[in-house]
Amino acid sequence: MKLKKKVFGLGAAALLALGLAACGNDDKNEGNTGSDEGTTGGTEESVGKSVDYKITGIDPGAGIMEAADRAIEDYELDDWTLTTGSGAAMTAALKKAYDKEEPIIVTGWTPHWKFAEFDLKYLEDPEGSFGGEEQIRTIGRLGLEDDLPEAHAILSNFNWSEEDMGEVMIAIQNGENEEVAAQNWIDANEDKVAEWTDGVDKVEGDKIKLAYVAWDSEIASHNVMKIVLEDMGYEVTLTQVEAGPLWTAVADGSADASLAAWLPITHETYADKFDGQFEELGINMEGVKIGLVVPTYMDITSIEDLKE
Ligand code: PBE
């Protein structure tokens, strides 16, 4: 597939100016050196070249990183590298590129505030490297139901929508303290919280430990659940870890539960590895998604376009 001519890094006005300057020329020359870019011909810059053949990733343990590696294989993107960092570093790089209207390709997921902040699109994934529709599920350690039955019930009942999570995430992104953002959401959504705690008795200071990864989506959910459990009498510890240690902690019982299991694909490797060593407590969100994400000003639509 041929990429359309695109001058990255220039705003619409600059593009127009370039177009006018080039007026009268009958070819595609846009005023650069005119060097031939290999097989793409002419002066078209391949999308790979425009981003240094780099996909901006996040923390290495994230399931989306495994999926992105799979995509590099599936689409034979031999020259490409997937950089590692963190969710925060990825959004910082995205913002930097976006502000200058420069090309960038990131590992992205929904729900995430970046879609509210920037005009972004998922690249189509005809090979299915990133799976299809995902769910976020709640997982608990074995024995949780016997030891902390009230928490087990609440965690099993927990489910909310992309919009709900979005409200918390965007508030945090806008500078609100995480706990305050979670508390504000709870105050505005008492009916939803009441459904999670319906018929559950309060406890008196029982301890519970939730493990999460510092992904914006999970920061939001765990801060909400922390307050919900505290309001029911629990003493809650939130432990922030990487994805691998999170699954290990639930499997070996050093964490009681996590709301951060993205399945069936994203965390499949972890779920398989620890099969039988954790309990699935239920789906806490439907219709979530992972993939490669680019600003809409980039003139590509599919991961296949990266092969050019
Ligand atoms: N994420 C957000 C995680 C799950 C939640 C998509 C970055 C991951 O890839 O493992």
The number of domains in the chain is 2
Atom of ligand 1 nearest to the CA of 65: 9
Domain membership flag for residue 166: yes
Region label for 24, one of left (φ > 0), alpha (ψ between -120 and 50) or beta (otherwise): left
The CATH number covering residue 208 comes to 3.10.105.10
Domain membership flag for residue 2: no
CA of 113 to the centre of ligand 1 (A): 14
Judgement on whether residues 51 and 17 belong to the same structural domain of the protein? yes
Domain membership flag for residue 5: no
Judgement on whether residues 126 and 164 belong to the same structural domain of the protein? no
Instruction: Tell me the angle at which helices 190-197 and 216-231 cross, rounded to the nearest 10 degrees.
Output: 70
Q: pLDDT digit of tens for each residue in the chain (308 aa)?
A: 333 333 333 333 333 333 333 333 334 344 444 444 444 444 568 999 999 999 999 999 999 999 999 999 999 999 999 999 999 999 999 999 999 999 999 999 999 999 999 999 999 999 999 999 899 999 999 999 999 999 999 999 999 999 999 999 999 999 999 999 999 999 999 999 999 999 999 999 999 999 999 999 999 999 999 999 999 999 999 999 999 999 999 999 999 999 999 999 999 999 999 999 999 999 999 999 999 999 999 999 999 999 97
Judgement on whether residues 147 and 118 belong to the same structural domain of the protein? no
CA of 218 to the centre of ligand 1 (A): 9
* Ligand 1 pocket check for 109: Cβ under 6 Å: yes
pLDDT for position 99: 98
Domain membership flag for residue 17: yes
CA of 264 to the centre of ligand 1 (A): 12
pLDDT for position 43: 57
The CATH number covering residue 105 comes to 3.40.190.100
pLDDT for position 30: 40
Region label for 45, one of left (φ > 0), alpha (ψ between -120 and 50) or beta (otherwise): beta
Judgement on whether residues 139 and 110 belong to the same structural domain of the protein? no
Domain membership flag for residue 250: yes
* Ligand 1 pocket check for 261: Cβ under 6 Å: no
Domain membership flag for residue 254: yes
Judgement on whether residues 113 and 170 belong to the same structural domain of the protein? no
Judgement on whether residues 168 and 222 belong to the same structural domain of the protein? yes
Judgement on whether residues 173 and 98 belong to the same structural domain of the protein? no
pLDDT for position 39: 46
Judgement on whether residues 128 and 140 belong to the same structural domain of the protein? no
Judgement on whether residues 231 and 259 belong to the same structural domain of the protein? yes
CA of 261 to the centre of ligand 1 (A): 9
Distances 117 to 132, 141, 177, 214 between C-alpha atoms, Å: 24, 36, 19, 19
* Ligand 1 pocket check for 290: Cβ under 6 Å: yes
Domain membership flag for residue 7: no
Judgement on whether residues 155 and 84 belong to the same structural domain of the protein? no
CA of 28 to the centre of ligand 1 (A): 42
* Ligand 1 pocket check for 63: Cβ under 6 Å: yes
Judgement on whether residues 126 and 147 belong to the same structural domain of the protein? no
Q: Is the pTM of this model over 0.75?
A: yes
Atom of ligand 1 nearest to the CA of 267: 10
* Ligand 1 pocket check for 217: Cβ under 6 Å: yes
In the 3-class helix/strand/coil scheme, how is the chain assigned residue by residue?
A: CCCCCCCCCCCHHHHHHHHHHCCCCCCCCCCCCCCCCHHHCCCCCCHHHHCCCEEECCCCCCHHHHHHHHHHHHCCCCCCEEECCCHHHHHHHHHHHHHCCCCCCEEEEECCCHHHHCCEEECECCCCCCCCCEEEEEEEECCHHHHCHHHHHHHHHCCCCHHHHHHHHHHHHCCCCHHHHHHHHHHHCHHHHHHHHCCCCCCCCCEEEEEECCCHHHHHHHHHHHHHHHHCCCEEEEEECCHHHHHHHHHHCCCCEEEEEEECCCCHHHHHHCCCCEEEEEEEEEEEEEEEEEECCCCCCEHHHHHC
Judgement on whether residues 260 and 155 belong to the same structural domain of the protein? yes
Domain membership flag for residue 149: yes
CA of 248 to the centre of ligand 1 (A): 16
- Please give the residue range of the domain that contains residue 148: 134-289
